[in-house]
Structure 1
Amino acid sequence: MSIFGSKQALLAGAAFAVLGAPIAFAAGNAQTATPAPAQQATPAPSPSPTPPSASPAPSPAETAAPEGEGEEQGGEESSAPSTSNARLPTLEELESLDTDELDELLGLKPKYDIPKAQRRETTRVGILDEAEGGLPAASLAKQPQALVRAALTGTQGRLVSRWGHIALRRALASRLAAPNGMSGVEFAGLRAQLLNRMGEFSAARAIAQDVDVDAWNTRLANAAVDSYIATGDIVGACPLAVLRGGYRDDAQWDALRSICSAYGGESGRARNELARMRNAKSRGDLEDIDVLLAQRYAGAAGLGNSTVTIEWDDVDELTPWRYGLAAALGMDIPDRLLDDAGPYYQRASASLPSLPLALRVNGARRAAREGIFSSAALIDLYSQAYAAGGNEGSVGTDAAQLRTAYVDPDPAARVAAIRALWGEDAQIPYDRQVLTAYAAARIPAGDQFSGDAAPLIAAMLAAGLDLDAARWRDVVDEGDAGWGMLAVGLPNAKQPVSNNAIDSFSDKDSSTGRARTGLLVAGLAGLGRISSGTRNGWDRELGLELGRETAWSKAIGRAGEVRNAALVSLLMGLGMQGDDWSRMTPRHLYYIVSALRQSGLEAEARMIAAEAVARG
């Protein structure tokens, strides 16, 4: 079924119409295609969570109050109003004020989190500069802001493709100028929110931290707080609590502000506020467990509540707040709660160093499948497990097998270890192929291991090791599964793929309705590796409708024509939503692969097409 026909509609009502908006072409949008690096098609490094150095002080226009916020929340400090007729507070009134109110009254509350001379501009926001593998800064500057907003808000987060996720993350993390008509702060907030929905919590936090806290609008502030909780960096929200304490009015925010008070040296105030909150009959959405966790966390700052007893017996479900605080405290969470938890908690657990390794490994497997974790990051986690406990437990057993798969001098023993990691199921778990990618690249290509050629090739291409996979092209037979992956996955194809070769692949295709053949044809057509006659013939035979256009296909096609890789990536994410490859139609794959190739992202286009053949 078409993605655009599902309940996960990508845009609703009038918002979808913006996909038909004209796409601007600017010199800054052009991007020159570069060949894939040796031995790997991975197009860019993972974004670093470290924000770039401060840039010169902003212009008055850049320091204007953020969209949707009061004047006091951003921009230059205004002149103080006349106080000639102001009444001085009485001593009794002063004693009733809390610290924040007193600071506000006496003009002691800070307006900025860094000196004015070091405040950063928001003309370009991001953590991956073009020189570091990011996309051109001006890519979206002249695009319709409604189109960019629709792409960012319409993408719910989960993409069917690991490589699609990687490409979208690169675009979202790039240091980009906002579209005309959209502020840099709003643009940063939209991107950070989408990164959170994708499970890229560290990248979302880094995007927020690239903007001075006093300039945050509500959208960016909410995204930042969500990322702090997901990464266990609870006190990361404290600058916001100090500068913008009134931006939210709910019980969870009050508890977070109390934690920040404890870490700011106001232990007595924090103790009283949390105790009052716990004793209150109405705490909004907070339950007893939520306040107890806050007291326990604040106790680590010397509050005296580090011995607070946490009981999970009456807790029916996890929330991000409970999980983030408990994980940051290194507390054990009952299995019954973890078993019923959704994917969010697995994605969050993958990068939380305070959690037990076994729990992190389960999350890391999902993170690897979805593109959040690289193959190297997953291998490192198993290496930690092996260093900590050898081959004890199921994780230790897998870690020991992984070690054999990489270091055993006998190739046959290495292949046996790889097979053991893949398991007995006919459909190999994709995260296991990501895990064994580099081990597969060390297996000599030859007839001795031809029976494992297809899954070995799939494993290598899962990590972008296209040139290592190329060694197997003379081992696989035309029309085999491994041949299909190489037909779309290898660079520098010299001859078009013949109709007979595709026919041979189709004869061996056991997928429902020859779905895998349809994805192969769509990938080859998008890469320009079959003739128009071959494409049209298979289009008719399989009912692929590759020529049918929609507002989305016109928009992504035009973005590809003008070589705007950033806009193509955003629209690609919009068209790749879903939990598995059954949600992806060949028609959508064709437009995505074609636009990526035209915009200069051929490596990503090839890896997505190869993944489709492997997993479709």
Structure 2
Amino acid sequence: MSELESMDSDELDELLGLKPKFDIPPAARRSLSRVGILSAEEGGLPPVALANQPASIVRAALAGTKGPVVSRWGHIMLRRALASRLAAPQGMDPVEFAALRANALNRLGEFSTARTLVQDVDTSNWDKRLTDTALTAYIGTADLVGACPAIKLQGGEREDPQWRMLQSICDAYSGQGARANSQLNRALSRQIAPDIDVLLAQRYAGAAGRGRRAVTLEWDTVEDMTPWRFALATAVGAEVPASLLENAGAYYDRVSAVAPMLALPQRIAASGRAASEGILSSAALVDLYSQVYAIDDFEGSPAQTAELLQTAYVGTSPGDRLAAMKSIWSGEGPAPYSRSVLTAYAAARMPPSSDFEADAGQLIASMLAAGLDRNALRWASVVEPGSQGWALLALAQPQRDSSVDTGALDSFFDDDTSAEQRKSQFLLAGLAGLGRIEQSAISDLSGRVSVNLGRESKWSRLIDRAAEVRNPALVAYLAGVGMQGEGWDKMTAMHLYHIVSALDRVGMSAEARMIAAEAVARG
């Protein structure tokens, strides 16, 4: 056999100069001057906010976003900042800037947003880092075919097993089914990857052509779950053994909650974490439970919750509606805050009344979980000064003409039973950050709850400086770094103070108020 005969079509195309360098016609190619999803007119941040900022600070802030943030509202704020249509910082390549933002979105579990962001860059401009980040997003959304333009353009630049299996999948979906089948058979025989990985790729590739053949998936010897396996199994409708998902990790909840191809029970089971973290909105969570309510033979805890939610919305009396919400709030299971997210709009329908004063704090917390501050403020005349409801409203008010009454603060501190008075510490930090406490009183109040809001660090000096120069994008990125963690016990009052203060000063008062109120509700 001659050397030419042994070459595959990609190698021949490259040898003969036929390999495409672009997948978009010249007239349709996009500029890299601004990359992102949300323009300023659509709610994004100012497009040149970072243009004159040092690349090193922006790079460090984005790289420092290692995973989830403690705050649901912090997550929502950070997603918006990362998805905004922005010019790259001074001295940073726009492709690197897109890759850093998409990578941060992936680590937050926002794979769909990351995928849309990388798609705003023409595939011909992708470098290795953006390609790797994009593949993570495509796998996170079970959209393997979405990666094919990059796979085709970059060809043999990579030789790792995943890339080779993706090449075969893309061949199958471009009409080269026989070639894809041959390549995957070879991959299976040479064991370039665990058998289950190649078999799933065969099942996925086989769905593209008419010459489909049965592929038997053997899970018996599989000991763990991976994003690749989950994405392919989800895409082809293969059932994953429950034992592999029991302790697989938070990643699978984040991708399952928003995967429309999964069965409703699986999405419901994953929805609590996604709602608590900010991946799912209150409306999206209600939609999921509405689907449960519409299925007559749906059983178990989700069905009971759906029944209660229906009563919470349309019960015959306010008392019945409140009783249903209280039953939802007291339910068992992970991610308890998600139950407040679920009832937010039902809580907003409750008429303010002294009859419900004992539950006003929880009702207000539920409303603020969805940002319904106007509805929550209707309860201002009901809540007792010094109560949790009063504290939440003191933080949530868009405008306040006078400082908070320190006597009411003292009452809140005295009644606080949270660990290490965390709620009191967060309340003080939030009010101080919003400028709602007299400066002269902060020192004495800080001593009462054992915090030092004046303490500084390199991070605090950076975020304060970003606020001084009125840079909302950099403040948002640095706030994301300051909110890293799996729970509010990982948050400090000092960090909260600087985050709330900086956000408020750069015009992101709504985010500042909601983060502060959430801290007190969840602390």
TM, length-normalised to structure 2? 0.97
Rounded Cα–Cα distance in structure 2 between residues aligned with 1:324 and 1:267: 21
Pairwise mapping of residues 416-565 of structure 1 onto structure 2 (< 5 A)?
A: 416-423=323-330, 429-565=336-472
Structure 2 unaligned spans of 5+:
none
Pairwise mapping of residues 177-192 of structure 1 onto structure 2 (< 5 A)?
A: 177-192=87-102
Per-residue deviation at 1:388?
3.6
Contact kept, 8 Å, 2:272 with 2:335, in 1: the verdict is: no
The correspondence for 2:280, drawn from 370, 373, 397, is 373
For residue 136 of structure 1, what is the amino acid of its counterpart?
Answer: P
Matched, 1:213 2:123: yes
Per-residue deviation at 1:264?
0.7
SS in 1 for 2:244: helix
Contact kept, 8 Å, 1:110 with 1:243, in 2: the verdict is: yes
The correspondence for 2:263, drawn from 325, 343, 356, is 356
Matched, 1:136 2:46: yes
Per-residue deviation at 1:389?
4.0
Per-residue deviation at 1:473?
1.1
Per-residue deviation at 1:394?
2.5
SS in 1 for 2:117: helix
1:223 is matched with which residue? 133
2:73 is matched with which residue? 163
The correspondence for 1:240, drawn from 147, 150, 153, is 150
Rounded Cα–Cα distance in structure 1 between residues aligned with 2:331 and 2:270: 22
Contact kept, 8 Å, 1:127 with 1:175, in 2: the verdict is: yes
Rounded Cα–Cα distance in structure 1 between residues aligned with 2:122 and 2:434: 42
The correspondence for 2:28, drawn from 104, 118, 124, is 118
Contact kept, 8 Å, 2:10 with 2:19, in 1: the verdict is: yes
Per-residue deviation at 1:516?
1.1
User: Which has a greater percent of helix?
Assistant: 2
Per-residue deviation at 1:135?
0.3
Contact kept, 8 Å, 2:312 with 2:321, in 1: the verdict is: yes
Rounded Cα–Cα distance in structure 2 between residues aligned with 1:207 and 1:303: 34
Per-residue deviation at 1:405?
1.2
Rounded Cα–Cα distance in structure 2 between residues aligned with 1:264 and 1:256: 12
SS in 2 for 1:301: coil
For residue 601 of structure 1, what is the amino acid of its counterpart?
Answer: M
Q: What do the CA deviations read for 1:319-358 (whole angstroms, capped 9, x no partner)?
A: 0000000011112111111101100011010111111111
Say what the alpha-carbon RMSD is for the aligned residues: 1.5
For residue 8 of structure 2, what is the amino acid of its counterpart?
Answer: D
For residue 341 of structure 1, what is the amino acid of its counterpart?
Answer: A
1:40 is matched with which residue? none
Per-residue deviation at 1:106?
2.7
Matched, 1:584 2:491: yes
Pairwise mapping of residues 29-48 of structure 1 onto structure 2 (< 5 A)?
A: none
SS in 2 for 1:244: helix
Contact kept, 8 Å, 1:434 with 1:459, in 2: the verdict is: yes
For residue 149 of structure 1, what is the amino acid of its counterpart?
Answer: R
Matched, 1:198 2:108: yes
Rounded Cα–Cα distance in structure 2 between residues aligned with 1:234 and 1:195: 18
The correspondence for 1:607, drawn from 491, 504, 514, is 514
Structure 1 unaligned spans of 5+:
1-90
Rounded Cα–Cα distance in structure 2 between residues aligned with 1:608 and 1:534: 23
Q: What do the CA deviations read for 1:520-554 (whole angstroms, capped 9, x no partner)?
A: 00000000000012211112333311111111111
Matched, 1:383 2:290: yes
Number of residues paired by the alignment? 523
For residue 278 of structure 1, what is the amino acid of its counterpart?
Answer: L
Identical columns (%):
57
1:18 is matched with which residue? none
Contact kept, 8 Å, 1:295 with 1:305, in 2: the verdict is: no
The 1:510–1:531 alpha-carbon spacing in structure 2 relative to 1, beyond 3 Å, is same
1:39 is matched with which residue? none
Per-residue deviation at 1:409?
3.4
The 1:244–1:496 alpha-carbon spacing in structure 2 relative to 1, beyond 3 Å, is same
Contact kept, 8 Å, 1:557 with 1:595, in 2: the verdict is: yes
1:148 is matched with which residue? 58
Per-residue deviation at 1:426?
12
1:574 is matched with which residue? 481
